[in-house]
């Protein structure tokens, strides 16, 4: 048994309604408790801002496509190199750091839980292998179902129970956490070099539409009673005028769950464009947030873009090809049989570029125009909009109009006529930032019950102490201090242990992977379904026996076993 | 005991449908394997215990002694080289990277002498690829360029391409057009619908011409390029542009001939160009069953797929400088650890000569050509026969190697883990 | 004027490379400990060289560093150099003048590979031969050398000026395979022969006054021109058509592969 007492912590804990109280936090082993003995180790937080450990609900850190981003980019790798030091391994990379680079940088920023945004089931083992080498955070994987043949066939046949059964078996086999749809239907069409433009296009050969897939998966998700909702990357990403597609997609979601949202829309910035071409592209953040404000059953993340060099990576293969045709830099693509796709290209977002400047503004607008911060998760879709190490800049901009104006003055001069940002006065407060960087994520992912995202007794002792006395700081003026404070914690505590201190990671750590195993009754076990098995054997290139991810890949794990209603 | 759906630890096809029968601590029968796989499973003649070179031959040593001696050799060195890695599982490869980091060593795998150039090309232009099932289910045009699967990847055509059942093809064999491009009429060429014979060294020029022709710049292409007629090139362009799904595979005939990575780059850019007209993909025919896994592991651990120099603490990567073949040829390293490969069988003689002059420890189940050049050999379990672990197929799909025999031998992971632990004792953390 | 003489001491393992990016004129302006790396061991500069400094200056432009002795395995000399002079009396190891932006490096012997990699400015003169990747870039990076001037009096190896995007590379002897491959800007002059010049070029200018063997078929013949400075008649090509390139290649003679 180990005991730790964090004294004089200035706590903001939105889940428990605590907004700026100086208090002590008692920790026994990995849990927060009511009190500890006098022998407990003491950390004096000295009134510094203390939050639950950060949670990233959409980031790309591990797996086939992330690693391919590294593989193809030695020029990015040489940008972030550190030697082995103390308990820290060597790291490389800026926009796509090595697994140790990710884990150390997230940890020193106070992040303790990460959701990998996209895992192809066939290649799940790879994601889990990298999770093992991401030791300072708990991890989960969104599992891709956007082009799943068996599911599209079941959707076409209108068999929702079968959709749910396939989903359950797959999630459980690959030790995934949630349903991810990336350009649903589009990734299958891309198997022929084609794409879908929006939710009502027919997918070649399968005779279903993206709308049907989305609706079916939302239904299946609720039948399986999964902790998270469907996690959706809408069709038609990154194209001028795509906001109407996004609005239509939002209209598909009805409020089906009293504990959380029914739909999580990711990187909405990339889906909020007006105009009909790159020449007249403009922000439609007002229309998008108007829809979101009227739909509390949708939660989203920003997908903020920041200027500079980064790498874009997504399962949305056709989108990356279009981007490649614009940028003419290198392009990788990796379609995955019977399931999904992937594309990767490096990009440079420039201030001097009008489109890039508009993108930058839209992300901020989405956060500032959404009334309820519980609906908006802070993200860059790292590394797509920018590497996650730049989150502190976003926080500072959301808290300071002055900072935004300063930035605005150096972007493309045409921007202000195309975006509402200059007219937005709102400055987010500390509690709203705490919500948008951990509490909203915990709620959206359904992790509060297992002790994530809050600091009440019973919670897991994942805590971030930032070196800032917020009572002495006016964030709208001292935004640089805000930025600095969120960049490096005084202490990051993970599972009751100090894992990072002032920028240094001090323990090896062991990651814990959270996954779901829906308790499907035997008659719905799809692995006994002759038709499913026959097609699997015939069209996959891996035998069904060799497909599931073995337990040995999860050194530590938290398996959630929802009771299903089929 | 009979085991179904076992993985074959031979080539990059990583077939996972093998049936293995094992009795009395030996594999007694295999089904579904090719000849190469069969010989691997039935292979015998393992080294019984660690052996150390003495002035007049070899002496048996214990594992403890072997580990101590490995430590001495590696810790003393100013520029140790850790080479091989393609024939073991990922978990062992991970320890290798940690070890390189701790020692300040260079770690490299056999990509150095096979598909390293493919990696360099991908780093310049990316890689439009896919898993092999995409090809199996969709491709109506298959191109094998500078590779001879019939001999080197014998089940490639039946599992993934020409003869494989495909969802979108009524009759896989009849509905697919197979083009083979090579400098000689190989066995694979005999199976092709179209065979293109190129003069040695002419791949780059032919690929450039094809790119220009796909772009409609037909008129400027001369009548014949590197022995290939313009008419035949035009025919190929037509086939590719009219394909629904065109899958290109290439081998060392492209990567290890003059121009090396520029050949591969040109092939990739041809596929990029074709992607504007139809679906097109390209896949390197990786050799060892887990050479790609070694590239993957190195990449997430260090940032680079191969040829990583940790001598300054940070990872430095520069093939041509930090590749094993170059380091050995320039006599730059002063000790070497060889794991799961046989450099004496595939590196140039200049490199092997240097190996003979420095302390070399080899970790390998079998006596091989490198045995003659090493000072110490430590036998281990064979990955995929008596050791489990992860392997990555040539298309990046990771599958877990099965274990069909119980064994007394330590696995690579166990042995390397012990060596690494012992190193940390000495060097501190 | 300050003169720094660095004389290599006898070494026990002379083939082990030494990384010595500290050897730039600016390093000797201030009093500080300079270290180099032999494999994984960090050594004082004075462990490897006899160091003698004469004279005093207050600007880097007045510093001249002379390397004497067996320097063919000393790497990264002159990396990030901004001014002053380095004179290497014999051969020099890889990556001499990496990222150099000013000043002058003179190599009296041969230079190993990656001479002037990603150079931005300044001047390198190599009196002997240069290895592969002379005046080139780094793996995966789109732009190689961006500015400055590299002159090789002997021959250059393969891939000279790969990814060149600015500056000029002059090779008085032959260049190997693929000079100017992927070049997008800048200028290359080759007075001898080479093979497969300028594969996949998208911009810039390259003159080969000798013969290009295995001339690539995807360059458009624009007819003959007279070179102003030499009066030599050259054939002008534009390409590489394989990639929409708009580079200019001028050659004395050429032979296609056939």
Q: Pick the closest to residue A188 from A151, A219, A217 (CA basis).
A: A151
Domain boundary among B284, B305, B335: B284
At residue B429, the pLDDT reads 53
Backbone angles phi, psi at B387, to 5 degrees: -140, 140
Q: Do C140 and A74 touch (CB under 8 A)?
A: yes
ipTM of the complex: 0.97
Residues B256 and B305 in one domain: no
Residue B366 within a domain: yes
- B148, HSE (Cβ side, Cα atoms, 13 Å): 11
Mutate to test the interface with B, among C132, C197, C218 (most CBs of B within 10 A): C218
Q: Do C140 and A329 touch (CB under 8 A)?
A: no
Buried b (16+ CB within 10 A) or exposed e, A465-487: bbbbebeebebeebbebbbebbb
Q: Do A74 and C139 touch (CB under 8 A)?
A: yes
Chains touching chain A through at least 3 C-beta pairs below 8 angstroms are B, C
Task: Kindly report the number of other CB atoms within 10 A of residue B171's CB atom.
Answer: 9
Mutate to test the interface with B, among C12, C19, C37, C39 (most CBs of B within 10 A): C39
Question: pLDDT digits over A21-37, tens only?
Answer: 999 999 999 999 999 99
A-chain residue closest to C143, CA distance: A75
d(CA B358, CA B106) in angstroms, rounded, equals 15
C-chain residue closest to A72, CA distance: C140
* Residue in the structure block whose two tokens are 């002496």: B59
Task: Give domain limits for chain A.
Answer: 54-453
Nearest to A191 among B138, B165, B301 (CB): B138
Task: Kindly report the number of other CB atoms within 10 A of residue A290's CB atom.
Answer: 14
Q: How far is CA B51 from CA B67, B373, B378, in A?
A: 12, 13, 7
Domain boundary among B269, B284, B299: B284
Cα B389 to chain centroid distance, Å, stands at 17
Residue B264 belongs to what domain range? 116-284
Residue B293 within a domain: yes
Residues B302 and B262 in one domain: no
Question: pLDDT digits over C150-163, tens only?
Answer: 999 999 999 999 99
Residues B131 and B153 in one domain: yes
Task: Report whether C148 contacts C100 (CB < 8 A).
Answer: yes
Which residues between 261 and 280 in chain B have a beta carbon less than 8 angstroms from any beta carbon of chain A? 272, 275-276, 278-280
Question: pLDDT digits over A177-234, tens only?
Answer: 999 999 999 999 999 999 999 999 999 999 999 999 999 999 999 999 999 999 999 9
A327-331 own/partner pairs: CB under 8 Å, 24+ apart: A329/C142, A330/A72, A330/B122, A330/B123, A330/B124, A330/B125, A330/B126, A331/B125, A331/B126, A331/B128, A331/B272
Nearest to C214 among B205, B269, B320 (CB): B205
Residues B140 and B100 in one domain: no
d(CA A361, CA A422) in angstroms, rounded, equals 9
Task: Report whether A320 contacts A69 (CB < 8 A).
Answer: no
Domain boundary among B284, B304, B325: B284
Residue A369 has what DSSP assignment? H
Residues B242 and B391 in one domain: no
CATH code of the domain containing B224: 3.40.228.10
Average pLDDT, chain C: 97
Q: Pick the closest to residue A110 from A332, A345, A438 (CA basis).
A: A438
Buried b (16+ CB within 10 A) or exposed e, C226-246: eeeeeeeebbbbebbbbbebe
Question: pLDDT digits over C200-249, tens only?
Answer: 999 999 999 999 999 999 999 999 999 999 999 999 999 999 998 899 99
Cα A34 to chain centroid distance, Å, stands at 32
Task: Give C140 to chain A, closest Cα distance, Å.
Answer: 6
At residue C31, the pLDDT reads 84
A-chain residue closest to B396, CA distance: A64
Task: Report whether C105 contacts C71 (CB < 8 A).
Answer: no
Residues B305 and B261 in one domain: no
Nearest to B101 among A90, A130, A345 (CB): A90
Q: Do C39 and B208 touch (CB under 8 A)?
A: no
Number of domain units in chain B: 2
Token pair listed for A170: 């797959």
Task: Give A468 to chain B, closest Cα distance, Å.
Answer: 32
Quick check: helix, strand or coil at residue A471? helix
Residue B13 within a domain: no
* Residue in the structure block whose two tokens are 């889990």: A128
Cis peptide bond upstream of A383, omega within 30: yes
Q: Pick the closest to residue C151 from C197, C98, C187, C99 (CA basis).
A: C187
d(CA A162, CA A181) in angstroms, rounded, equals 18
Task: Give B105 to chain A, closest Cα distance, Å.
Answer: 13
Task: Report whether B416 contacts B99 (CB < 8 A).
Answer: yes
* Beta pairing partners, B80: B335
C213, with CB counted inside 10 A (0-12, 13-18, 19+), is middle
Residues B216 and B345 in one domain: no
Task: Report whether A116 contacts A63 (CB < 8 A).
Answer: yes
Contacts of C251 (CB under 8 A, 6+ apart): C197, C207, C208, C211, C212, C215, C234, C235, C237
Residues B226 and B278 in one domain: yes
Nearest to B126 among A133, A330, A538 (CB): A330
* Beta pairing partners, A393: none
Helix (H) or strand (E) holding A287: helix A285-293
Residue B34 within a domain: no
Task: Report whether B140 contacts B326 (CB < 8 A).
Answer: no
Q: How confident is the model at residue A117 (pLDDT cuts 50, 70, 90)?
A: very high
**DSSP strands (E only) in B85-155:** 106-109, 128-130, 141-145
Average pLDDT, chain A: 97
At residue A326, the pLDDT reads 87
Question: pLDDT digits over A46-87, tens only?
Answer: 999 999 999 999 999 999 999 999 999 999 999 989 999 999
Residues B106 and B142 in one domain: no
Contacts of C102 (CB under 8 A, 6+ apart): C81, C82, C83, C121, C122
The pLDDT tens digits along chain B (429 residues) read 999 999 999 999 999 999 999 998 899 999 999 999 999 999 889 999 999 999 999 999 999 999 999 999 999 999 999 999 999 999 999 999 999 999 999 999 999 899 999 999 999 999 999 999 999 999 999 999 999 999 999 999 999 999 999 999 989 889 999 999 999 999 999 999 999 999 999 999 999 999 999 999 999 999 999 999 999 999 999 999 999 999 999 999 999 999 999 999 999 999 999 999 999 999 999 999 999 999 999 999 999 999 999 999 999 999 999 999 999 999 999 999 999 999 999 999 999 999 999 999 999 999 999 999 999 999 999 999 999 999 999 999 999 999 999 999 999 999 999 999 999 999 875
d(CA A404, CA A411) in angstroms, rounded, equals 11
Quick check: helix, strand or coil at residue C34? coil
Residue B163 within a domain: yes
B-chain residue closest to C16, CA distance: B332
Q: Do B212 and C241 touch (CB under 8 A)?
A: yes
Residues B217 and B70 in one domain: no
d(CA C166, CA B178) in angstroms, rounded, equals 44
Task: Report whether B405 contacts B385 (CB < 8 A).
Answer: yes
Residue A90 has what DSSP assignment? P
At residue C257, the pLDDT reads 86
Task: Report whether A62 contacts A127 (CB < 8 A).
Answer: yes
* Domain A54-453 architecture: Alpha-Beta Barrel (3.20)
Task: Give A343 to chain C, closest Cα distance, Å.
Answer: 17
Task: Give B85 to chain C, closest Cα distance, Å.
Answer: 22
Average pLDDT in the C111-133 region? Answer: 98
Task: Kindly report the number of other CB atoms within 10 A of residue A458's CB atom.
Answer: 12
pLDDT > 70: percent of chain A: 100
Q: Pick the closest to residue B295 from B97, B13, B40 (CA basis).
A: B97
CATH code of the domain containing B410: 3.40.50.740
Task: Kindly report the number of other CB atoms within 10 A of residue A510's CB atom.
Answer: 11
Residues B194 and B58 in one domain: no
**DSSP strands (E only) in A413-476:** 463-466
Residue B331 within a domain: yes
d(CA A438, CA A461) in angstroms, rounded, equals 14
Q: How far is CA A534 from CA A339, B7, B338, in A?
A: 17, 20, 44
Question: Does residue C258 have a pLDDT over 90?
Answer: no
* Residue in the structure block whose two tokens are 């490299």: B108
Token pair listed for A161: 């129970």
Task: Report whether B136 contacts B161 (CB < 8 A).
Answer: yes
Residue B28 within a domain: no
Token pair listed for B397: 């799909």
Residues B165 and B277 in one domain: yes
């Amino acid at each position: 048994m180990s005991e730790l007492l964090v004294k004089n912590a200035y706590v903001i804990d939105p889940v428990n309604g605590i907004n700026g109280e100086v208090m002590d936090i008692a920790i026994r082993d990995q849990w927060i408790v009511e009190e500890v003995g006098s022998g407990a180790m003491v950390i004096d937080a000295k009134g510094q801002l203390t939050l639950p450990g950060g949670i990233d609900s959409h980031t790309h850190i591990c797996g086939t496509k992330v690693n391919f981003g590294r593989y193809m980019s030695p020029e990015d790798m040489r940008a972030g190199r550190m030697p082995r030091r103390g308990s820290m391994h060597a790291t490389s990379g800026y926009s796509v750091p090595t697994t140790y680079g990710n884990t150390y940088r997230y940890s020193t920023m106070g992040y303790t839980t990460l959701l990998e945004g996209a895992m192809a089931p066939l290649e799940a083992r790879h994601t889990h292998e990298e999770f093992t080498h991401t030791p300072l955070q708990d991890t989960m994987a969104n599992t891709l179902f956007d082009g799943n043949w068996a599911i599209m066939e079941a959707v076409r046949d209108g068999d929702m129970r079968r959709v749910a059964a396939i989903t359950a078996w797959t999630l459980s086999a690959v030790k995934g956490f949630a349903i991810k749809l990336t350009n649903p239907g589009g990734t299958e069409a891309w198997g022929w070099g084609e794409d879908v433009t929006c939710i009502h296009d027919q997918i070649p050969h399968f005779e279903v539409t993206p709308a049907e897939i989305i609706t079916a998966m939302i239904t299946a998700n609720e039948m399986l009673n999964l902790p998270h909702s469907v996690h959706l990357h809408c069709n038609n990403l990154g194209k001028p005028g795509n906001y109407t597609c996004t609005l239509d997609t939002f209209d598909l979601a009805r409020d089906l769950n009293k504990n959380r949202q029914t739909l999580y829309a990711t990187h909405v910035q990339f889906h909020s464009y007006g105009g009909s071409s790159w020449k007249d592209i403009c922000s439609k953040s007002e229309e998008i947030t108007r829809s979101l404000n009227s739909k509390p059953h949708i939660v989203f993340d920003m997908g903020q873009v920041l200027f500079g060099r980064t790498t874009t990576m997504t399962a949305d293969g056709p989108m990356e090809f279009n981007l490649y045709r614009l940028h003419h830099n290198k392009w990788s693509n990796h379609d995955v049989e019977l399931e999904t796709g992937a594309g990767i290209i490096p990009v440079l977002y420039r201030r001097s570029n009008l489109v890039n400047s508009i993108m930058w503004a839209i992300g901020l607008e989405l956060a500032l125009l959404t009334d309820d911060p519980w609906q908006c998760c802070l993200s860059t879709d790292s590394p797509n909009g920018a590497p996650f190490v730049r989150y502190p800049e976003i926080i500072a901009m959301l808290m300071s109009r002055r900072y935004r104006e300063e930035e605005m003055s150096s972007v493309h001069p045409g921007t202000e006529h195309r975006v509402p940002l200059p007219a937005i006065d709102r400055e987010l407060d500390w509690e709203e930032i705490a919500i948008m960087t951990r509490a909203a994520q915990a709620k959206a992912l359904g992790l509060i019950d297992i002790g994530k995202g809050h600091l009440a007794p019973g919670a897991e002792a994942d805590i971030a102490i930032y070196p800032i006395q917020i009572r002495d700081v006016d964030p709208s003026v001292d935004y640089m201090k805000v930025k600095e404070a969120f960049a490096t914690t005084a202490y990051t505590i993970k599972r009751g242990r100090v894992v990072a201190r002032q920028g240094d990671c001090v323990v090896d750590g062991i990651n814990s992977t959270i996954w779901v195993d829906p308790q499907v009754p035997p008659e719905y076990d799809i692995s006994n379904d002759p038709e499913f098995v026959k097609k699997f054997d015939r069209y996959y290139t891996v035998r069904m026996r060799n497909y599931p991810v073995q337990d040995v890949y999860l050194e530590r794990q938290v398996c959630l076993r929802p009771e299903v209603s089929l | 005991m009979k085991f179904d759906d076992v993985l074959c630890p031979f080539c990059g096809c990583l077939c996972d449908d093998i049936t293995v029968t094992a009795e009395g601590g030996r594999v007694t029968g295999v089904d579904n394997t090719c000849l190469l796989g069969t010989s691997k499973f039935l292979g015998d003649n393992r080294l019984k215990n660690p052996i150390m070179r003495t002035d007049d031959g070899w002496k048996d040593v214990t594992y403890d002694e072997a580990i101590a001696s490995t430590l001495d050799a590696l810790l003393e060195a100013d520029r140790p080289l850790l080479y091989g890695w393609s024939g073991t599982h990922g978990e062992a490869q991970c320890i290798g990277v940690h070890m390189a980091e701790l020692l300040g060593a260079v770690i490299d795998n056999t990509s150095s002498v096979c598909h390293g150039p493919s990696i360099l090309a991908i780093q310049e232009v990316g890689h439009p690829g896919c898993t092999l099932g995409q090809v199996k289910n969709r491709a109506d045009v298959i191109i094998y360029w500078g590779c001879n699967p019939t001999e080197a990847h014998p089940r490639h055509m039946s599992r993934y391409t020409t003869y494989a059942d495909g969802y979108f093809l009524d009759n896989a064999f009849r509905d697919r057009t197979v083009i083979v491009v090579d400098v000689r009429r190989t066995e694979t060429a005999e199976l092709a619908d179209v065979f293109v014979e190129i003069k040695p060294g002419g791949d780059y020029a032919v690929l450039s011409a094809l790119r220009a022709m796909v772009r409609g710049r037909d008129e400027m292409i001369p009548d014949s390029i590197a022995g290939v007629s313009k008419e035949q090139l035009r025919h190929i362009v037509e086939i590719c542009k009219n394909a629904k799904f065109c899958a290109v595979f290439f081998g060392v005939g492209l990567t290890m001939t003059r121009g090396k990575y520029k050949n591969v780059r040109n092939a990739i850019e041809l596929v990029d160009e074709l992607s504007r007209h139809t679906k097109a993909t390209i896949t390197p025919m990786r050799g060892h069953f887990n050479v790609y896994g070694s590239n993957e592991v190195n990449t997430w651990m260090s940032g680079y797929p191969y040829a990583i120099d940790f001598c300054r603490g940070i990872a430095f990567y520069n093939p041509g400088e930090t590749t094993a073949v170059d380091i050995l040829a320039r006599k730059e390293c002063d000790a070497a650890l060889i794991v799961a490969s046989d450099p004496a069988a595939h590196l140039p003689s200049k490199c092997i000569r240097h190996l003979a002059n420095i302390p070399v420890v080899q970790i390998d189940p079998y006596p091989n050509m490198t045995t003659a050049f090493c000072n110490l050999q430590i036998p281990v379990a064979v990955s995929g026969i008596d050791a489990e672990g992860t392997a990555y197929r040539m298309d990046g799909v990771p599958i877990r190697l099965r274990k069909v025999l119980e064994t007394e031998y330590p696995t690579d992971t166990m042995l390397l883990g012990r060596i690494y632990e012992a190193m940390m004792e000495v060097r501190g953390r | 004027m300050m003169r720094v003489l660095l004389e290599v001491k006898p070494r026990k393992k002379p083939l082990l490379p030494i990384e010595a990016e500290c050897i730039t004129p600016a390093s000797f302006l201030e009093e500080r400990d300079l270290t180099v790396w032999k494999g994984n061991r960090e050594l004082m500069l004075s462990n490897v060289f006899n160091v003698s400094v004469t004279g005093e200056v207050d600007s880097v432009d007045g510093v001249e560093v002379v390397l004497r002795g067996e320097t063919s395995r000393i790497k990264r000399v002159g990396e990030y150099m901004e001014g002053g002079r380095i004179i290497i009396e014999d051969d020099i190891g890889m990556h001499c003048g990496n990222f150099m932006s000013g000043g002058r490096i003179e190599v009296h012997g041969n230079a190993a590979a990656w001479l002037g990699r990603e150079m931005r400015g300044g001047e390198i003169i190599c009196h002997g031969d240069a290895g592969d990747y002379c005046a080139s870039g780094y793996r995966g990076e789109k732009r190689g050398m961006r500015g400055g001037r590299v002159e090789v009096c002997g021959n250059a190896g393969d891939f000279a000026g790969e990814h060149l995007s600015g500056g000029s590379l002059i090779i008085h002897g032959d260049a190997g395979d693929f000079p100017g491959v992927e070049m997008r800007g800048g200028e290359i002059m080759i007075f001898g022969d080479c093979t497969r010049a300028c594969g996949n070029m998208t911009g810039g200018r390259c003159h080969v006054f000798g013969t290009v063997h295995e001339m690539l078929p995807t360059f458009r013949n624009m007819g003959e021109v007279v070179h102003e400075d030499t009066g030599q008649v050259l054939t002008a090509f534009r390409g590489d058509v394989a990639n929409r390139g708009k580079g200019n290649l001028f050659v004395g003679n050429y032979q296609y592969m056939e």
